Structure 1
Amino acid sequence: MSLLRASSVISRIASQQRSFAVSQSRLSSHDDIMEKWPADKFDKHFIDYLNRPEIDGWEVRKALGELHDFDVIPDPKVVEAALRACRRVNDYALTLRFLEAIKIKCGSAKNREQIFGYIVQQIKPTLTELGISIPEELGLDKPELFIPQSEWWWERKWYKEYGFDKKPGFEF
């Protein structure tokens, strides 16, 4: 009886150690890739993956989700490859969401204008070639149903960000 019990305890401990090791490697996989890969190899990985002719919508979403998980703003070459992949699978909504995600990753409003402006400037020929508009050109950069009420709204800096600080009646 004690021999059977000891073997079950040993197998249980071994399985716990194995599951802990697997979870640790999953948690640190992105960090390891960023430390081991130079920037050009990182970019090449995503460009090659997104430029495959047989790529489908699920794989494009997987690649863009993985790219978004890294704490980097993608190079314009990677953005162009992603836009071409989105166009190949005919997913315009994903294109817009990808561009919005890049804009959000650019940081505060001042940095966002500089960095995202640079990226848009670099990818402009590709946008024109593919017939893609950025969210600002479509009017999607401001909320559609945003009605500020100064006595209720708790985040006053949004007034300035959306241009409501210049309209009469919205002073605070």
Structure 2
Amino acid sequence: MFRNAMLSGFSSVRNVKNLFFPSLANIKQGRVSAVCIRSMSKHSSETEEEFDARYEAYFNRSDIDGWDVRKAMNDLQGMDLVPEPKIISAALKACRRVNDYALAVRFLEAVKDKCGNRVKEIYPYIIQEVRPILDELGVNTPEEMGYDKPELYLESVYDIH
């Protein structure tokens, strides 16, 4: 639009400024031909099913690489949601296709973290739903690997009976 304004006779800075920042008087007199409006709200009309299908299809791409997998996982972590088990399964399969076992385990840790204060309700359900995929791919959960405890975790002498 700026280039078209320059070519159509708006040669002075004042006229170009009026095109992008029109005064109220110019708007009332009809001298403004174009006004840039930027919507500050980005409301999505995407349903939950469409969202799930979009991420599932993204992770199921045959040409996906490690960067793409990490990008999508990072985007999911930035959202205010816990991914559905079908998205998690597709992500774990994508980790297998790019041969990144550590990324699969870290993604499960991130999903557990996304469960927030309802981790005891949501996370067991997610693990139950993705268990067949975990077994098929040979991926252990962070709890099975001992990552849920500190590295030098020792049982308290007061807890031993």
TM over 0.5: yes
Amino acid at match of 2:17: V
Per-residue deviation at 1:38? 1.6
Identity of counterpart residues, as a percentage? Answer: 43
1:117 matched to which residue of 2? 124
| Corresponding residue to 2:74 among 65, 72, 84 | 65
Structure 1 runs not aligned, ≥5 long: 147-162
Larger helix proportion of the pair: 1
1:48 matched to which residue of 2? 57
| 1:81 matches 2:80 | no
Tell me the C-alpha RMSD between the 2 structures: 2.8
| Corresponding residue to 1:135 among 116, 139, 142 | 142
TM-score by length of 1: 0.69
Structure 2 runs not aligned, ≥5 long: 1-10, 23-34
Query: Secondary structure in 2 aligned to 1:9?
Result: helix
TM-score by length of 2: 0.73
Q: Between Structure 1 and Structure 2, whose CA radius of gyration is higher?
A: 2
| Corresponding residue to 2:18 among 10, 33, 53 | 10
Query: Secondary structure in 2 aligned to 1:21?
Result: coil
Per-residue deviation at 1:143? 2.4
